[in-house]
Chains A and B, each alone.
Chain A
Amino acid sequence: MAAGKRIIGPGDETSWVLEMIGITGHAVYLPRHRIEREKIAAAHGGKPVLEGERTAIGFDEDALTLALEAVQGLDLPACGGIYFASTTAPYLERMNAALLATACDLPEEIAVADFAHSLRAGTAALMAALDRVAVGGSEPIVVVAADVREASPESPEEQWFGDGAAAVAVGREHVVAEVKARASVSDDFLDFVRRDKDERITSFASRFTVEGYCRIVGRALARVLEESGLRPSEIARVILPPMDPKMMARVAAELGFRAEQMQETFLDRAGMLGCAMPLFLLSAALEQARPGDRILLVGYGSGADAVLFEVTPLIEGYVVRDPIAEQLRHGLRFPSYERFRKAREYFRHHDEGPVLSNVFYEKEEVRTIRLRGTECGECGLRQFPPTRICQRCHSTTGLREVSLGRQGEVFTYTVDWLAASPMPPTVLAVVDVEGGGRLYLQVTDVEPSEVHIGMRVRLTLRRLGAGGGLYHYYWKCRPEGRGDG
């Protein structure tokens, strides 16, 4: 490896010398829906605080479903664990990362952890993953951050926030960006807060808040630069999560960076993506990076994390399945502000779905969320849901449980206006998945006129209902080919 050897880790008596630790994969997921900031502003009789549009979830999405899309975008062959970061995870008690691991159909012998309660949760999870990889096994840890933050209607944050997710794999093999130095500081500074009883954030945005940001980030940056022995000018790309859309130029100058060193923030097309922002921007930086580039990543919130990466030659062969530019290009605009709000609030007001037992969950839903089917040893037919008798040749022996493919093609479909839905019509399709097997799925994030027989789709886990204390997730599909066609 061109980047050389270095000791990272506890440095205990075993004196592990590791070749390299760093980013081995990266992907982002932006929900397909958008709303123009002018539409939000107009609904309140005001002017937009920022030009452009923001990303926004559809009614069937949440931080967990966005996170899963980002993780699936990594196309990882193996994984030693999932660390999930979010300030808006759907479950406050229940390991969201374990549900993600189930949906990824990962084995049970892996590490899972949730990180929460701060915009720094994304980089906090990254730090923890780096520690674990330093002491642990050879398989990468996936760090995924996702947020769908709620700000009060009419607040500036309602406009400049966006929804999104970003995932990185942290490991020792196929490293595209090696970790060279890192530092953290803790500071109980007040900027955005949300109590246990609040549904929306409280913002303390002011000039003082910007000053606090500069001071805290400055301390973390100083430490990481000191550790690496680099000057600000030697950094190719600096990633600062924006805390206020107007302050970024000032912050950069104050911290000693030139404007051209700063990573573009996509605020005009996506928005501030909560705790997913640092990893989202890291992915953006890596999409453009060249070998030898130094990238300085900052996570901010009640203190700051700073990580210095050096890009390796492997970056040149790294293929991003669904690049940010492609995802930004294929938005679906909500027709109205009301639709945007309805999508966000639907499940807050609708909890009348089926009440199901944990026995049902264990026996049936787990296999469904893992997307398991049966393959017949006699005739080879793959079928869903799992069965003991082959649908075609009726064989009862040699049937084995298999994981079904997550891409497919529409065999037939309908656009249904009768099906009960918060946003009719419901598009339903019979989908033949790659590798065999046929599923019956709702098609989401789609204009009904786009749907046709033969359309390529990708499976996506979505909220299907809520009731009995649970959100119920099941697979839908969405059009493939934003960038992954």
Chain B
Amino acid sequence: MVESLKDKVAIIGIGCTKFGELHDKSLSELMAEAAFAAYEDAGIEPERVEAAWLGTFSPGFGGGKASVTLADALRLYGKPITRVENYCATGTDAFRNACLAVAAGVYEVVLVVGAEKLRDRPVRGLQREGTHPYLEAGSTPPGLFALAANRYFHRFGGDRRTLAKVAVKNHRNGALNPKAHFRMEVTEEQVLAAPLVAYPFGLYDCCPTTDGAAAVVICRADRARQFREDPVYVKGIGLAVETGWPFFDPTFEYIGFPATVAAAAEAYRMAGIRNPAREISVAEVHDCFTWTEIANYEDLGFCKKGEGRYFIEEGRSALAGDLPVNPSGGLKSFGHPIGASGVRMLTEIVLQLRGQAGARQVKNAELGLVHNLGGPGSVACVVVLGR
């Protein structure tokens, strides 16, 4: 059995840029802004960083496929930097790898940066790279998740009105968040009246493409209090990779994502969590599309398979519910710069655990969960943080 990461690594600094259409900022500027905010929050000088992990999916022109993107942005030279790319789970997987290095005792203080700039691309939606020219022709991210949503409805019932409730909740939370891409509330009627993107998803069922960066500074848990009074500890991390082509898998049921189930099982095992619905205080989950959040409730064990619609309909995931989900506004409202999102979710949970989340603060947050889901539900990473 794999050893547990529990209480071996602590987050001592966080930084996050404003998310949105940041037409006047480059990827380098965004990374520098997030990293220096995290240094300041940790109370360290840049030189204190011994190694760095960069999570970015598509860094664009120049330095594209290596870690030089981060080295040049931060002038962080002569140190080990690793670039991680793992679909939309890129940010949390970069964090996971950094945690493994710290837990191994190789480094004491490590920087993790997730960053993406999607709004300077010449395409609508997410520019896809590396997909098969024929076998995946015509597929889009909303289309891939819509395949699952339609099958789920066929199996368990529910419809676009169920989905709209997720959009309404996450926009309401995002409106409270000064750094969110969209700071506006929407009504169920607006959501249902919006143009269709990929049935059953309309415009408000889809997260936006966004520019943004986030960073965390982590260190060995036994040194954390040298840096601050209120470090947040890593309780468990799980990563699971399933097929990248579920649509060719005759056994794939299209009612949820086994990758999430497996990643959560690993993270819960490390953290010693037996009843996630009761033990977890707050969660940031991967709501790339409204239906995904409903599937996540089930796959993360917040409720039973097929009952996710009641979890949203009964208000259990609302800010005032018994397990608030996506208090930040989620990908839906906060925005989704691919590589940045996972790291950004970590910063939100850290704020919640420190009690610094302002208007969207969840009461008595003890244990928080971060969940990233990449590809057509292929790659999932779950992180449990606690005080």
**A residues adjacent to B (C-beta < 8 A):** 353-354, 356, 365, 368, 381-385, 391-392, 411-421, 425-426, 428, 430, 432, 436-440, 442, 448, 453, 464-465, 472, 474
Task: Pick the interface stretch among B11-19, B129-137, B330-338.
Answer: B129-137
Interface code B136-168, partner A: CB below 8 Å = 1, 0 otherwise?
A: 111110110011111100100000000000000
User: Given A414-B143, A428-B138: A438 and B250 within 8 A (CB)?
Assistant: yes
Choose from A385, A414, A417 the contact partner of B248 (Cβ within 8 Å). A385
Interface membership of B60, Cβ < 8 A: no
Q: Which chain B residue has the least Cβ–Cβ distance from A453?
A: B154
Tell me whether B134 and A472 are in contact (CB under 8 A).
Answer: yes
Given A354-B133, A414-B143, A430-B254, 14 more pairs with CB closer than 8 A: A353-B133, A414-B198, A416-B197, A419-B140, A425-B196, A426-B143, A428-B147, A432-B250, A436-B250, A437-B250, A442-B138, A453-B154, A465-B137, A474-B137
User: Using a Cβ cutoff of 8 Å, how many contacts connect chains A and B?
Assistant: 111
Cα A392 to Cα B125 with chains together (Å): 33
Check if B243 is an interface residue, CB within 8 A of chain A: yes
Chain B interface (Cβ < 8 Å from any Cβ of A): 123-125, 133-140, 142-143, 146-151, 154, 195-199, 243, 245, 247-252, 254
Considering residues A365, A383, A430, A442, which has the most beta carbons from chain B within 10 angstroms of its beta carbon? Answer: A430
Taking a contact as CB atoms under 8 Å apart, the answer to whether B143 and A416 are in contact is: yes
Q: Which of B133, B140, B147, B198 is close to A430, meaning CB atoms less than 8 Å apart?
A: B147
- Best-buried of B123, B140, B150, B254 by chain A (most CB within 10 Å): B150
Give the residues in chain B near A437, CB-CB below 8 Å: 250
Contacts of B149 in A (CB 8 A): 414
Which B residues are in CB contact (< 8 Å) with A430? 147, 247, 254
Given A391-B249, A411-B254, A453-B151: A440 and B146 interface contact (C-beta under 8 Å): no
Residue of A nearest to B123 (CB): A420
Known: A413-B147, A418-B143, A438-B250. A368 touches B196 (CB 8 A): no
21 intermolecular pairs with C-beta atoms under 8 Å apart: A391-B251, A392-B250, A412-B147, A415-B198, A416-B142, A417-B197, A417-B198, A418-B124, A418-B143, A419-B138, A419-B139, A419-B143, A421-B138, A437-B250, A438-B248, A438-B252, A439-B248, A440-B135, A442-B137, A448-B199, A453-B151
Distance, CA A453 to CA B196, complexed state (A)? 19
| A385→B196 CA distance, assembly (Å) | 31
B133 touches A465 (CB 8 A): yes
A428 touching B139 in the complex, CB below 8 Å, given contacts A411-B151, A411-B254, A412-B154: yes
A439 to chain B: closest residue by CB: B248
- Per the bound structure, the CA–CA distance linking A430 and B249 in Å amounts to 10
Partner of A472, one of B133, B247, B248, B249: B133
B150 CB contact (under 8 Å) in A392, A413, A426, A432: A413
B251 adjacent to A453 (CB under 8 Å): no
A368 to B247, CA, bound (A): 16
B126 — nearest CB in chain A belongs to which residue?
A: A418
Distance in angstroms between the alpha carbons of A458 and B151 in the assembled complex = 21
A356 nearest in chain B by CB position: B133
Q: Are B136 and A440 in contact (CB-based, < 8 A)? A: yes
Q: Which residue of B lies closest to A373 (CB)?
A: B248
Q: Are B147 and A414 in contact (CB under 8 A)?
A: yes
In the complex, how many angstroms separate the beta carbon of A1 from the nearest chain B beta carbon? 46
Contact A385/B151 with A392-B251, A416-B140, A416-B142 known, Cβ cut-off 8 Å: no
- Which residues of the other chain, B, contact A448 by a CB distance below 8 angstroms? 199
| Bound-state Cα–Cα, A453 to B137, Å | 21
Give chain A residues whose Cβ lies under 8 Å from the Cβ of B150. Answer: 412-414, 453
With both chains docked as a complex, state the minimum distance between the C-beta of A161 and any C-beta of chain B, in angstroms.
30
Q: Specify the chain A residue showing the minimal Cβ separation from B246.
A: A430
Nearest-neighbor residue (CB-CB) of B249 within chain A: A391
What residues of B have a CB within 8 angstroms of the CB of A464 in the complex?
133-134, 137
Q: Which residues of B contact A368 (CB under 8 A)?
A: 134-135
Q: How far is the CA of A439 from the CA of B146 in the complex (A)?
A: 16
Which residues of chain B have C-beta atoms less than 8 A from A453's C-beta? 150-151, 154
B243–A391 CB distance below 8 A:
yes
Once A391-B243, A419-B138 are accepted as A-B contacts, the answer to whether A412 and B254 lie under 8 Å apart by CB is: yes
Task: Tell me whether A383 and B138 are in contact in the complex, defined as CB-CB below 8 angstroms, given that A414-B199, A417-B198, A428-B143 are known contacts.
Answer: no
